[in-house]
């Protein structure tokens, strides 16, 4: 009775560490559809949103960096984590597949887990994904977190035993939005009525076309039928199904067909389906044009929407990944000198003309060299002896404190000329020579 009392309770779900997975009691929704993390993927809008976010996170370059002495940063390619995160987290997966899998778990279950395999020196040597619906998070008698994972027959045997208890140091846990900051809630669970309505619309549409794209109705007979089921079966065999749609019906013995269903346009079927696509995109904060809805997208705003996707949708997820990996994978002494970072510069790149204009400004103002620009465009480097690493600036630019310096020197020269003796002696000849030299230097300005 405890389960049923919790199921029918109107209290909001409590986010306790004793259970990472949101429990779908019988999976029912207000729309009458069975919704869980797996069935939700049957809705095209959910599948598209999950795929867009998972592939975006998986496709970004992921590097381990080390702080430089001059305040800069450099890639720590010799670090043991670099190869694991950038290339192969384990011998069975590439980095793309590993991150795509964990991001899918994070979007559907609200939590992503991976087992950390360490060497005798405490270095991370492998990362293996764990199914969120098989994980239980709890605290021991001393208040320390532990992870209890159940292994079933259809999963890879990465661990021995039916149930394995893992310490917090052995699990990479990336939680989604939650109430206690430890365990995240499933977005599918929180929005299961909206997703259920979308599934109901798809089921209604499929049934509508399966019944010949005609609403249900009543066959009226003026007399009494001895076997109505036989007449119904005969009618469905001849006129039911999409392959029998629009056939001419022949009624005998004074029978009459009266439709009683509501037409799809009267029930706003298409409008409801479209609204549910926007609703699902709103749950995952994905621009509608990225899941195929181009109604409100134009050539002038679609690029801006793509940039907003990176800043407001993708960036928070990347921060969760970066901070969770740094917390679980870096040793305490390494956290002061190393960090893990996704490179999103490729997603923030504009069109070709915008990039070239930006490079021109950077080149002319001296904070990018030719090789810096060529590296961003995936071009070969220009040898240093040919000037590829030179930083150049415009020659007509000067420091603010030097503004008017030339005019001050000109004024000093004029004062020296005024001191020349007026009688045209030796001093007069020197003054004439100085004026001639000044005219030669100043050109039109001196004259």
Domain contains 242? no
CB atoms within 10 A of CB 446: 14
Same domain, 288 and 413: no
Enumerate residue ranges in the chain where pLDDT < 70: 1-33, 153-161, 204-228, 231-232, 235-236, 238-254, 257-273, 296-300, 349-351, 400, 403-447
What's the token pair of residue 161?
Answer: 């035993």
End-to-end CA distance of the chain: 105
**HSE of 254, CA atoms in CB hemisphere, 13 A:** 5
Note the pLDDT of residue 424. Answer: 46
Q: What is the DSSP letter of 131?
A: -
Q: What is the dihedral of CA 102, 103, 107, 113, to 10 degrees?
A: 30
Same domain, 413 and 304: no
What's the token pair of residue 264?
Answer: 């799809």
CB distance 325 to 340 below 8 Å: yes
Q: Give the long-range contacts of residues 321-325, CB within 8 A, separation 24 or more.
A: 321/57, 321/99, 321/174, 324/172, 324/173, 324/174, 324/175, 325/85, 325/172
User: pLDDT (tens digit, 9 = 90+) per residue, 251-279?
Assistant: 666 677 666 565 555 556 666 667 778 88
Note the pLDDT of residue 21. Answer: 42
Least Cα distance to 279 among 200, 178, 204, 198 occurs for: 198
Domain total of the chain: 2
Boundaries of domain holding 339: 17-215+261-348
Tokens 């720590």 correspond to 76
Same domain, 67 and 193: yes
Using only C-alpha atoms, the chain has a radius of gyration, in whole angstroms, of 36
What's the token pair of residue 11?
Answer: 């209290």
What's the token pair of residue 79?
Answer: 């670090």
Domain final residue pick, 283, 315, 348? 348
**Residue 378: exposure state from Cβ atoms within 10 A (0-12, 13-18, ≥19):** exposed
- Sequence-distant (6+) residues with CB within 8 A of 8 are none
**Helix H or strand E encompassing 97:** helix 95-109
Domain contains 125? yes
Cα–Cα distance between 174 and 107 in angstroms, integer? Answer: 11
Question: Global pTM?
Answer: 0.67
Domain contains 94? yes
Same domain, 303 and 409: no
Same domain, 432 and 306: no
Q: Is the dihedral of CA 417, 423, 424, 425 positive or negative?
A: negative
Cα–Cα distance between 103 and 316 in angstroms, integer? Answer: 13
Domain contains 397? no
**Residue 158: exposure state from Cβ atoms within 10 A (0-12, 13-18, ≥19):** middle
Same domain, 344 and 413: no
Domain contains 180? yes
Same domain, 86 and 149: yes
Same domain, 65 and 209: yes
User: pLDDT (tens digit, 9 = 90+) per residue, 63-122?
Assistant: 999 998 777 788 999 999 999 999 999 999 999 999 999 999 999 999 999 999 999 888
Domain contains 123? yes
Same domain, 160 and 71: yes
Same domain, 435 and 287: no
Domain final residue pick, 301, 318, 348? 348
CB distance 172 to 127 below 8 Å: yes
Domain contains 183? yes
Domain contains 250? no
CB atoms within 10 A of CB 379: 11
Same domain, 48 and 135: yes
Domain final residue pick, 310, 330, 348? 348
Cα–Cα distance between 141 and 160 in angstroms, integer? Answer: 25
Cα–Cα distance between 150 and 73 in angstroms, integer? Answer: 41
Same domain, 342 and 411: no
């Amino acid at each position: 009775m405890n389960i049923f009392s919790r199921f029918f309770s109107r209290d909001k779900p409590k986010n306790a560490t004793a259970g990472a997975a949101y429990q779908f009691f019988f999976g029912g929704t207000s729309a009458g559809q069975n919704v869980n993390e797996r069935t939700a993927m049957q809705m095209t809008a959910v599948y598209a949103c999950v795929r867009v976010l998972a592939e975006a996170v998986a496709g970004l370059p992921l590097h381990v960096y080390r702080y430089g002495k001059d305040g800069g940063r450099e890639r720590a390619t010799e670090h043991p984590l670099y190869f694991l995160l950038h290339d192969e987290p384990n011998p069975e997966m590439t980095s793309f597949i590993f991150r795509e899998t964990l991001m899918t778990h994070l979007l559907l279950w609200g939590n992503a887990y991976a087992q950390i395999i360490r060497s005798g020196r405490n270095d991370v040597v492998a990362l293996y994904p764990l199914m969120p619906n098989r994980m239980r998070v709890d605290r021991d008698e001393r208040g320390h977190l532990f992870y209890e994972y159940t292994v079933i027959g259809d999963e890879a045997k990465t661990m021995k035993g039916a149930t394995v208890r893992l310490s917090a140091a052995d699990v990479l846990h990336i939680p989604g939005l939650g109430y206690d900051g430890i365990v995240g809630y499933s977005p599918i669970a929180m929005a299961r009525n909206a997703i259920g309505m979308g599934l109901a619309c798809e089921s209604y549409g499929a049934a509508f076309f399966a019944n010949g794209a005609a609403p249900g109705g009543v066959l009226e007979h003026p007399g009494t039928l001895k076997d109505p089921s036989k007449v119904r079966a005969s009618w469905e065999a001849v006129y039911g199904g999409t392959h029998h749609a629009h056939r001419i019906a022949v009624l005998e013995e004074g029978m009459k067909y009266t439709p009683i269903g509501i037409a799809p346009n009267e029930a706003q079927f298409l409008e409801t389906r479209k609204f549910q696509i926007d609703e699902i995109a709103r749950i995952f904060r994905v621009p509608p044009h990225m899941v195929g809805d181009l109604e409100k997208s134009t050539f002038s705003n679609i690029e801006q929407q793509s940039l907003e996707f990176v800043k407001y949708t993708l960036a928070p997820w990347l921060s969760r990944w970066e901070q969770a990996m740094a917390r679980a994978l870096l040793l305490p002494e390494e956290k002061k000198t190393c960090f893990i970072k996704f490179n999103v510069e490729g997603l923030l790149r504009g069109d070709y003309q915008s990039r070239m204009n930006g490079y021109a400004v950077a080149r002319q103002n001296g904070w990018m060299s030719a090789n810096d620009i060529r590296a961003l465009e995936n071009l070969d480097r220009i040898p240093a002896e040919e000037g590829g690493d030179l930083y150049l600036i415009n020659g007509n630019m000067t420091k603010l404190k030097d503004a008017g310096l030339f005019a001050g020197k000109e004024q000093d020269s004029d004062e020296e000329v005024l001191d020349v003796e007026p009688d045209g002696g030796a001093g007069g000849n020197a003054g004439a020579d100085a004026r001639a030299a000044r005219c030669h230097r100043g050109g039109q300005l001196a004259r």
